[in-house]
Amino acid sequence: MTNATEASHPSATSGRPVVVGVDPGLTRCGVGVVGGPVSHPTLVHAECITTSADLPLEERLLALHRRLRAILSEVTPTAVAVERVLFSGNVRTAMPTGQAAGVALLAAAEIGVPVTAYSPNEIKQTVTGDGAADKQAVARLVAVQLGLDAPPRPVDVTDALAVAITHLAHSRGPTSGRITTPARATLAAAQHDAARVGRGGWEAVVAARAARPTRGTLDRGDAA
The string of pLDDT tens digits covering residues 56-74 is 999 999 999 999 999 999 9
Q: Which of 134, 156, 159, 193 is catalytic?
A: 156
Q: Is 46's pLDDT higher than 70?
A: yes
- Within 8 A by CB and 6+ apart from 154, the residues are 3, 28, 30, 48
Could you tell me the sign of the dihedral formed by the alpha carbons of 202, 204, 205, 209, in that order? positive
Measure CA 17 to chain center.
15
- Quote the pTM value: 0.75
Is 149 annotated as catalytic?
A: no
What does pLDDT average to over the chain? 81
pLDDT tens digit sequence for 167-189: 999 986 544 344 445 555 555 55
Q: Which is more confident, 37 or 24?
A: 24
Evaluate whether 114 touches 108 at the Cβ level (below 8 Å): yes
Q: Which of 23, 122, 203, 219 is catalytic?
A: 23
Q: Which of 47, 59, 83, 222 is catalytic?
A: 83
Q: Does 2-215 carry CATH code 3.40.50.1820?
A: no
Is 83 annotated as catalytic?
A: yes
Percent of the chain with pLDDT over 90: 59
Length in residues, the chain: 224
Q: Is 200's pLDDT higher than 50?
A: no
SS3 of residue 72 by DSSP: helix
Q: Is 142's pLDDT higher than 70?
A: yes
Q: Is 210's pLDDT higher than 80?
A: no
Distance CA 20, CA 196 (A): 38
Evaluate whether 149 touches 143 at the Cβ level (below 8 Å): yes
DSSP string, 65-120: HHHHHHHHHHH--SEEEEEPP---S-HHHHHHHHHHHHHHHHHHHHTT--EEEE-H
